[in-house]
Amino acid sequence: MQFGIFTVSDITPDPTTGRTPTEAERIKAVLAIAQKAEEVGLDVFALGEHHNPPFFSSSPTTTLGYLAAKTQKLQLSTSTTLITTNDPVKIAEDFAMLQHLAEGRVDLMMGRGNTGPVYPWFGKDIRDGIELAVENYALLRQLWREDVVNWEGKFRTPLQGFTSTPRPLDGVPPFVWHGSIRSPQIAEQAAYYGDGFFHNHIFWPPEHTQRMVEFYRRRFEHYGHGSADQAIVGLGGQVFMRRNSQDALAEFRPYFDVAPVYGHGPSLEEFSSQTPLTVGSPEQVIERTLGFRDYVGDYQRQLFLIDHAGLPLKTVLEQLDLLGEEVVPVLRREFAALKPAHVPDAPTHASLVAAAGGAKDATVHAPADSVTGQAR
């Protein structure tokens, strides 16, 4: 099972000091957080995509490309890539390039996002959101799997004799997760292709997450990709820890109370009882996280949100130390002991290459020089 962290890249005031970090400070902080994640033994770092304040991450592949050069083992992912408003051609090119730079340590999460105005900013209509997600992803898959693409659809100009470059590393595209909180159509899309399904798992009660994951698993089996319990599932979650649970509650409360996403509503205790938010000791985080399996079954990836709501970098790095030293080693051992042998691990580049029969050079050599037009 893979463990890691994800960030939505928010720039939020620290309610205990009143200070808001600059974009430059927040970007540097996220780079430090990702590198610390590898240092403490986590498997995955995932970065969101937003095109509006208070977020900075408008170009996740740029940031992940930098991190590819600064890390050795860390799997680099997104949370999420906007399949609705990005051009599938550009997604194909950017992530294939990142895949080469990271020597395969790349996957991505497709999603529609939760910011309605992003659609007109990129010339799209939010009412077409589901249709855009379906059509754009179908084109993306074709671009990664066919050397020469002829294509025509509803939302994009046609392609004739087009080759996306670079080609996927070793002839194998990055693994794709489909992220959704409330859209069964996206779970259906993940199941149809045999891709992974990731549930944000932060703001909703367990019963909702259970229904979405169960639906995906049933449809995964329906499409012939394996039994329902072999479907590839990922979960989010948010934690805040101190060695003493009362210290954790006292320290996190001012951040929770004014957080843009859930502040000014239910109390910290109420929200924690109704959602997977866990604020307490490492032992409490372990117990709560192990309990996720009770309602989603055996799953392959667990990502924690630990850096939003204005928490300072020093505090986030301390959270990573606790995750790496006290929480994740226990979770690895306990989840591994519970997982049946027929349930697969999370896909990696190496496992995908092996399943494809080995690596191959996917380079496409044009018959003529594209600059001079002269045959080679």
Question: What confidence score (pLDDT) does residue 367 get?
Answer: 72
The answer to the question of residue 363 being in a domain is no
The answer to the question of residue 370 being in a domain is no
Residue 294 has pLDDT above 70, yes or no: yes
Mean pLDDT taken over the chain? 93
Query: Could you tell me the CATH number of the domain that includes residue 104?
Result: 3.20.20.30
pLDDT per residue as tens digits for the range 211-250: 999 999 999 999 999 999 999 999 999 999 999 999 999 9
The answer to the question of residue 38 being in a domain is yes
Q: Are strands 159-162 and 149-151 parallel, antiparallel or unpaired?
A: antiparallel
Three-state DSSP string of the chain: CEEEEEECCECCCCCCCCCCCCHHHHHHHHHHHHHHHHHCCCCEEEECCCCCCCECCCCHHHHHHHHHHHCCCCEEEECCEECCCCCHHHHHHHHHHHHHHCCCCEEEEEECCCCCCHHHHCCCCHHHHHHHHHHHHHHHHHHHHCCCEEECCCCCCCEEEECCCCCCHHHCCCEEEEECCCCHHHHHHHHHHCCEEEECCCCCCHHHHHHHHHHHHHHHHHCCCCCHHHCCEEECCEEEECCCHHHHHHHHHHHHHHCCCCCCCCCHHHHHHHCCCEEECHHHHHHHHHCCHHHHCCCCEEEEECCCCCCCHHHHHHHHHHHHHHHHHHHHHHHHHHCCCCCCCCCCHHHHHHHCCCCCCCCCCCCECCCCCCEC
Beta-bridge mates of residue 335: none
The answer to the question of residue 375 being in a domain is no
The answer to the question of residue 366 being in a domain is no
The answer to the question of residue 368 being in a domain is no
Q: Model-level pTM greater than 0.85? A: yes
Residue 195 has pLDDT above 90, yes or no: yes
Residue 375 has pLDDT above 60, yes or no: no
pLDDT per residue as tens digits for the range 343-361: 999 999 999 999 999 999 9
Question: What confidence score (pLDDT) does residue 260 get?
Answer: 75
Question: What confidence score (pLDDT) does residue 372 get?
Answer: 52
pLDDT per residue as tens digits for the range 4-56: 999 989 999 999 999 999 999 999 999 999 999 999 999 999 999 888 888 88
297 vs 277: CA distance, rounded Å: 19
The answer to the question of residue 371 being in a domain is no
The answer to the question of residue 341 being in a domain is yes
Residue 261's closest CA among 243, 282, 236, 281?
Answer: 236
Residue 374 has pLDDT above 60, yes or no: no
Token pair in block for residue 54: 């208070």
169 vs 361: CA distance, rounded Å: 8
pLDDT per residue as tens digits for the range 43-69: 999 999 888 888 888 899 999 999 999
User: Angle between the 184-193 and 129-145 helix axes, to the nearest 10 degrees?
Assistant: 20
Residue 185's closest CA among 134, 109, 127?
Answer: 134
| pLDDT confidence bin for 125, thresholds 50/70/90 | confident
Domain enclosing residue 65, as ranges: 2-356
> What does the buried/exposed string (b/e) look like for 40-73 if buried means 16 or more CB atoms within 10 Å of the residue's CB?
eebbbbbbbbbbeeebbbeebbebbbebbeebee
Question: What confidence score (pLDDT) does residue 373 get?
Answer: 52
State how many domains the chain has. Answer: 1
Token pair in block for residue 343: 């349930």
